[in-house]
Chain A
Amino acid sequence: MLKVNNLTVEFGKRTIFENVQFDVNAGELVCLLGANGAGKSTLLNTLCGDVKYKGQVSINGETLDTLDLKTLAKVRAVMPQKVILNFAFTCFEVVSMGRRVHRSILNEIDLDVIQTCMTLCGVWDFKDRRYPYLSGGEQQRVQLARVLAQIYIKEQQLNNTNYPPRLLLLDECTSSLDPKFQHEIYRILQSLKKQNIAILTIVHDINLASQYADRILLLSNGRLIEDACPHIAINSKRMLQTYDLHTKVIHHQSVSRPVVIALDQV
């Protein structure tokens, strides 16, 4: 689905990252981890087409540069860390904007998709509330519903016709959510796998990544130092390399994935 090959980005003389190479397949949830300033956001912005780069990025076999914005928007949705919207749209209006790339006047299917996505993200109940008056977490869920609506396909259709796999890029989509909704969102993301959607998300919470990711990418000093499943990627050596933080990785019987805890002092 998404193929990244020899990707290098430089701002002036400063190299943000170089020779980054990885794939994200349809139906896979991949988490990108790294310290502040490691280049995570720049990497994501590059995949969004907002940054000049050297190397190859391709989506469904087509080079990123050659795809026009509209075609791209139908197969790739991006959720930024923060969306500032001061105009008093209702939540329903905000989510339906995600659907506009398909049709300028929404039809039955679009309305159905909007309702499904809003219900999935738990925001259908306040569809008529004004967006600027919501709390940060509620706004984030509305935005997630919007980007989902952009690439969502109803199950009936999914079976009938052959739809291309789609890509969802998320920049810390759970940063202002409470723990319950953090897990809720990641469960939603997992459930999107059967939608044939490839997901790449930036996460700061290592345990969240460990619990839900199919694969983990660790970015450190402009290099991709790990690309493996959580069991392999998450160990104290890698955590020290990535975050300069001493940790202990434990395996607890109640969760199937490794759990990381920071150590007091070393």
Chain B
Amino acid sequence: MNIKIVSVFLISILLLVCVVSLMIGAYPIELKAILQIIFRFNTQDIYPTDQTVLLQVRLPRLIMAAFIGSALAICGAVIQGLFRNPLADPGLIGISTGAMLFVIFTIVFGGFWLSKELQVYALPVSGFIGACLVTFLVYRLATTDNHTDITIMLLAGIAISALGGALTGIIIYMADDNQLRDITFWSMGSLANLGWGDVLFAGPILFICSVILYRFSTPLNLMLMGESVSKHSGVDVVKLKKQIIVLVAIMVSICVCLSGIIGFVGLVCPHIVRLLVGPDHRKVISLSAILGALMMAIADVVSRTLISPAELPIGIITALIGAPFFMWLLVEQKKRLR
């Protein structure tokens, strides 16, 4: 399919979902009021509550949802390319597990030496440190003499994930009831409580990392034919792998810290895009970004409205939509191969 048609189509749905997302929720806001507040006309007619809910709660949350969705989808696309495996996922090299282990450790044991105010900041920071440490460890395990073996890296990722899971289990076993609740909700993912501070902190970093990853499209295309083909075509494979893994670790750990573990966006989005426009990374990365944002925006609306005024963790929604869809994709692919 033509990339222009697909992107125009996706962007228009994304805009539509964004507007709907701003309108509905526990506190509905009319379309007219939204336009008034955003484009600043007839300001005397605006209800202050409308303005507060829109500007302080929904807008930053929507922007963050879109950013996180894009970032996860781009990371998924790039990791699938790097591992030459359409079923790969940043979670596979242990990034999410590392972040989770450290965050849960902080939730359970942080109370002993951190004041209540500090704990709020401690969670994202510890998640980031955990993600980077585990990625580094997996990378070291898979690297000998400047050569990184991707298969060993996947296996090491699985081993480290199992180890991290076990350690997490031990920590959870020691947690009390309140902490258990925190852990459960965090690990299912949530976009609640995200504000402009998060947008200003995470937005630019995610955006810059995405642009850099996009610029690796051509070498990534060559990587799909194997490392030696890439090398003989003039790609510095060693450097490329390092750069991509570091960028993905940064992006995924930021996402995990802000919103917990959100599955399936990174796995499914690049897949759908490949079915639509083919495997060229220039197309896959840019369209995955749009589709990831779209998927997260939809999941966010659903999570806020399904049992309103309460809220479902967004990770549940992405899994609920993503997992059956993914199974359908697999069945379709089997049919195609026949």
B229 contacts A83, CB within 8 Å? yes
If A88-B274, A97-B222 touch, whether A48 touches B279 (CB-CB below 8 Å) is no
Is B32 on the interface with A (CB-CB < 8 A)? no
C-alpha gap A83/B222 in the complex (Å)? 11
Does B84 count as interface, using CB distance less than 8 angstroms?
yes
User: Contact at B218–A88, with CB atoms within 8 Å?
Assistant: no
Q: Which residue of A lies closest to B231 (CB)?
A: A69
**A98-106, A215-223, A226-234, A241-249: which lies at the interface:** A98-106
The residue from A84, A90, A98 contacting B233, defined by CB atoms under 8 A apart? A98
Q: Does A70 contact B (CB under 8 A)?
A: yes
Q: Can you sample 13 A-B contacts with CB below 8 Å?
A: A69-B235, A74-B234, A77-B232, A80-B228, A84-B225, A85-B225, A86-B86, A87-B86, A87-B279, A88-B274, A90-B278, A93-B280, A97-B233
Say whether, besides A85-B224, A88-B274, A97-B221, A73 and B280 are in contact (CB < 8 Å). Answer: no
Complex formed: what's the CA distance from A107 to B232 in Å? 22
Q: Which residue of B lies closest to A169 (CB)?
A: B232
Specify the chain B residue showing the minimal Cβ separation from A105.
Answer: B218
A107 CA to B4 CA in the complex, in Å?
Answer: 21
Within the complex, the shortest CB–CB distance from A179 to chain B, in Å, comes to 27
Give complex CA distance A101, B218 in Å.
10
CA distance A86 to B336 in the complex (A): 13
Residues of A within 8 A of B (CB): 48-50, 69-70, 72-74, 76-78, 80, 83-90, 93-94, 97-98, 100-101, 104, 150
Closest 5 CB pairs of A and B: A73-B234, A87-B279, A101-B234, A78-B232, A70-B234
* Complex alpha-carbon distance, A80 and B230, angstroms: 12
Are A101 and B233 CB-contacts (below 8 A) given A88-B274, A89-B280, A93-B280?
Answer: yes
B residues within 8 A CB of A49? 231
Does B226 make an interface contact (CB < 8 A)? yes
- Measured CB to CB, the nearest residue on chain A to B281 is A87
Per the bound structure, the CA–CA distance linking A70 and B233 in Å amounts to: 7
**Distance from B311 Cβ to chain A, minimum over Cβ atoms (Å):** 38
> Count of B residues near A, CB < 8 Å?
20
Do B279 and A89 touch across chains, with their CB atoms under 8 A apart? yes
Question: Is B233 touching A48 in the complex (CB atoms < 8 A)?
Answer: no
- Could you tell me the distance between the alpha carbons of A140 and B274 in the complex, rounded to whole angstroms? 24
Residue in B233, B236, B274 whose CB lies within 8 Å of A87: B274
Residues of chain B within 8 A of A94, CB atoms compared: 225
Closest to A71 in B: B234
Task: Give the interface centre of B218, B232, B279, B280 by most chain A CB atoms within 10 Å.
Answer: B232
B234 and A97 within 8 A (CB):
no
Beyond A73-B234, A83-B225, A87-B274, 15 additional pairs, beta carbon < 8 A:
A48-B228, A48-B232, A69-B236, A70-B234, A77-B232, A78-B229, A78-B232, A80-B226, A80-B228, A87-B86, A89-B224, A93-B278, A97-B222, A100-B221, A101-B234
With A and B bound together, what is the CA distance between A155 and B45 in angstroms? 73
Smallest distance from the beta carbon of A158 to chain B beta carbons, Å?
21
Q: Please, how many angstroms separate the alpha-carbon atoms of A84 and B223 in the complex? A: 11
B residues within 8 A CB of A104? 218
B232 and A97: CB pair below 8 A? no
**Complex: A86 Cα to B337 Cα, angstroms:** 12
Take A73-B234, A74-B234, A104-B218 as given contacts and tell me if A89 and B226 are in contact as well, using a CB distance cutoff of 8 Å.
Answer: no
- Residues of A contacting B234 in the complex (Cβ-Cβ under 8 angstroms): 69-70, 72-74, 100-101
B224 touches A100 (CB 8 A): no
- A48: which B residues are within 8 A, CB to CB? 228, 232
Among A83, A84, A97, max chain B CB count under 10 A is at: A97
CA distance A90 to B235 in the complex (A): 21
- B229-272 residues with Cβ-Cβ distance < 8 A to A are 229, 231-236
What residues of chain B lie closer than 8 Å to A87, measured between beta carbons? 86, 224, 274, 279
Given the known interface contacts A87-B274, A93-B280, A104-B218, the answer about A73 and B232 at a Cβ–Cβ threshold of 8 Å is yes
B231 to chain A, nearest CB (A): 6
The residue in chain A whose Cβ has the minimal distance to the Cβ of B238 is: A69
CB nearest neighbor in A for B275: A88
Q: Which residue of A lies closest to B284 (CB)?
A: A87
Instruction: Tell me the complex Cα distance, A76–B232, Å.
Output: 8
Please give, as numbers and ranges, the residues of chain B lying within 8 Å of A73 by CB-CB distance: 232-234
Chain A residues near B84 (CB-CB < 8 A)? 86
Q: Find the A residue at minimum CB distance from B279.
A: A87
A80: B residues at CB distance < 8 A: 226, 228-229
